[in-house]
Amino acid sequence: MLKKTLYPKTKRIPENGPLVTVTEKMDGENLTIFKLNGEIQFAQHNWIFSMDEMLSDDRSRISRCKGLKYWAKNHKEDLERDLVEGSAICGEWMRATAKTYPAEVVEKDFYMFAKANIGEGPDGLMLTNIWWNRDLFKYPFANQAIPDYIGVVPLVDEGYINPSKEVLDAMYEQYTSKVGGRKVEGFVICSNNVIRKYLRMRKGKPVEYHEDWRKSA
């Protein structure tokens, strides 16, 4: 006779459920900045640039993100000091579209929406441990504080119930009114570290949300 429990205990549901956060989907360019082997690197547009390549005068090696080269030059020492080895920050590069936002909304060039780790995988560099929880955004930084030259995407709402389309529609109307009626591309909804998009702008015009179309179509 063997004493052993085979069937695991059933977990209890949390009293409040997972926290659901709704953030504004900013209309920028996807950019990841990471530190690996002591070197700052930039990943965007299907390319990865080292800091030296970013600052190079060789145009074939210059980032297509408007103004990123000059921002990288200005914050090179900051990034080398502030980012923890093996850490990555993911976000929106806003220089090209900043003029479509009020100055108080986009006062920085880079806005975080996730943190991650970077390392070598079977197919080369890969991101792991990606988190969209805003409370964790401080951990890629050496002093566990987001530096003042980096922003965080605006928070719209948070609670313990996944919002339906009808709730998001109402939330969108309230939010756009709150921010002065400016164009808002949509929301990103995060629950249990899973994100989904709710898009309301198509070719620069507000439209009804549909899950089966892309904003550029």
Q: Where are the chain's structural domains?
A: 20-206
pTM (2 d.p.): 0.88
Condensed to tens digits (0 to 9), the pLDDT of residues 88-137 reads: 999 999 998 888 898 888 999 999 999 999 998 888 899 999 999 999 99
Residue 81 in tokens? 């000091």
Residue 61, pLDDT score: 62
Residue 63 has pLDDT above 80, yes or no: no
Residue 53 has pLDDT above 80, yes or no: yes
Residue 217 has pLDDT above 70, yes or no: no
Report the percent of the chain where pLDDT is more than 90. 68
Residue 26 in tokens? 């900013």
Alpha helices in 46-149 (DSSP H): 51-54, 68-82
Residue 212, pLDDT score: 79
- ∠ CA 66-70-76, nearest 5°, is 125
Q: Could you tell me which CATH class the domain 20-206 is placed in?
A: alpha beta
* Cβ(206)–Cβ(184) below 8 Å: no
Condensed to tens digits (0 to 9), the pLDDT of residues 138-166 reads: 999 999 999 999 999 999 999 999 999 99
- Tell me how far apart the alpha carbons of residues 197 and 14 are, in angstroms, rounded to a whole number: 25
